[in-house]
Chain A
Amino acid sequence: MRMLVIGLLASLAGCAGTGEERDPRDPFEPFNRGVYRFNDKFDEYLAQPVARTYRKAVHQEIRSRVGNFFANIQDLFIGVNNFLQGKVQDGVNDWARFAFNTSFGLLGIHDVASEWGLEKHNEDFGQTFGRWGVPPGPYLVLPFLSSSTVRDGVGTAIDYTASPASEIRPINLRNTLYGLYLVNTRAELLDASRLLEEAALDRYVFQRDAYLQRRRSLIYDGSPPREKLE
């Protein structure tokens, strides 16, 4: 996965065209739209049918346990990122969540920490770089992973390699878990993607703008400096 992202970033450097009226945030739009179409087909013919079957076959209760299990592993590095951003209290909170959920929550399948008032945060390396002042760079659509930017793409590569999940052996078990994670995540997003289809005139543009707004908001933990619409 890491080599794929790096290779992609390198190949992009070569194809920055200057078309007319292109959005300055998205200089690779034609390339991105190509990947977007590929992702769309992959989603339509494989990911969505699998996710729908999974949602029908697996009870909501179990799906939410599966989600909790992976969310718990992520808390470890959410904490690391909070420390890297100087938010020590939040980082301690995340690690306490991990400790409680792993033990009392039976390897994370029960989110007992939330019930005890330890809130879940949303952090990753892309956000940490953003907090450090690294600009997002051009918008990117990554194969399978969809919306990203150069900064967030590098962040995602680190997220994957750093995650303790990547150390799980045997490899078959790790890959099975990755597969389960992806299917479960896609299943949880079925409603959101239908919403996107209903709301957007041009889904590519709508998703891109929503992603960029969302990331900006996340970097500032929900209260970015207000951009006044006039």
Chain B
Amino acid sequence: MNKLIATILSCALLTAALAQDVAPDVLVKNVTQEVVGLIAKDKEIKAGNRTKLVEVIEAKVLPHFNFAAMTALAMGQNWGKANPEQKKQLTEEFKTLLVRTYASALAAYSEQKFDFRPLRAKPTDTDVTVNVRVLQPGAQAVTIDYSMEKTGSGWKVYDVMVGGVSLVANYRTEFSNTVRNSSIDGLIKELRAKNQGKK
């Protein structure tokens, strides 16, 4: 019995260790294919069950994102002016907003093909961009670029660029406008209202 537990434990540890060693482009490919595969098979999600889709994203995609870093980048100079509690709340609300948006984008997905580009980086690099292209007939392919940073718990995404539009950069003006016109707490309130569907 003890031996069995030991084996299971060491297996679990080994998988965790392996997860850290997965190259960033391989990670993006695996996660994309897994999520797309899950969605294709799930009747409820296909029928428009948003809650279930969000659950899939939370389980499969979220662990590979560094939301604190994303929020800090989107906040720019105002990040330094926020206290730890505000930082925590901002990160939480921004995460919810991004997950909702991501769910909408995935819901519109209809079996387009992916072209996973080979990673152009040195093995020693700790900050890389992974390029994926979504192919569609009659139109230019849409590029998705994941900016990723190597951390103690594997590679983490800190920005996503869709068709050359950085998600994080795109929130910068909105965030700084809101902070300037009201306050950091005002921004938290506005994000919360947005997430609760009141805006």
Contact = CB atoms under 8 A, between A and B. Distances in A.
B100 interface: yes
Contacts, number: 81
A43 B117 CA distance: 37
Interface stretch (A34-42, A114-122, A174-182): A114-122
Nearest to B98: A199
Of the candidates B140, B164, B194, the one having the most CB atoms from chain A within 10 angstroms of its own CB is B164
A213 B170 contact: yes
Contacts of A230: 76
Given A201-B190, A201-B194, A229-B159, A64 B137 contact: yes
A76 interface: no
B137 A198 contact: no
**Chain A's interface: helix, strand, loop or mixed, by majority?**
helix
A202 to B, nearest CB: 6
B148 to A, nearest CB: 14
A218 B138 contact: no
A3 interface: no
A224 interface: yes
Interface in B83-133: 97, 100-101, 104-105, 108
A172 to B, nearest CB: 26
Contacts of B141: 119-120
Interface residues of B, number: 33
Contact of A191 (B108, B177, B190): B108
B168 A229 contact: yes
Interface string A193-230: 01100111110011001100110111000101001011
Contacts of A121: 140
A222 B142 CA distance: 10
B143 interface: yes
A229 B138 contact: no
A205 B173 contact: yes
B104 A194 contact: yes
Contacts of B166: 213, 229
Given A195-B104, A224-B164, A120 B177 contact: no
Contacts of A206: 170, 174
Contacts of A23: 173
A120 B161 CA distance: 20
A107 interface: no
A218 B166 CA distance: 13
Interface string B152-176: 0000000101011110111011100
A201 B101 contact: no
Contacts of A213: 164-166, 169-170
A64 B168 CA distance: 32
Nearest to B129: A226
A191 B106 CA distance: 10
26 contacts: A21-B180, A68-B137, A111-B138, A119-B141, A122-B140, A191-B108, A195-B105, A198-B101, A198-B104, A201-B191, A202-B174, A205-B177, A206-B170, A206-B174, A209-B172, A210-B165, A210-B170, A213-B169, A214-B163, A214-B165, A216-B164, A217-B161, A217-B164, A217-B165, A227-B169, A229-B168
Q: Which 7 A-B pairs have the closest CB atoms?
A: A217-B164, A191-B108, A68-B138, A122-B140, A199-B101, A213-B165, A71-B138
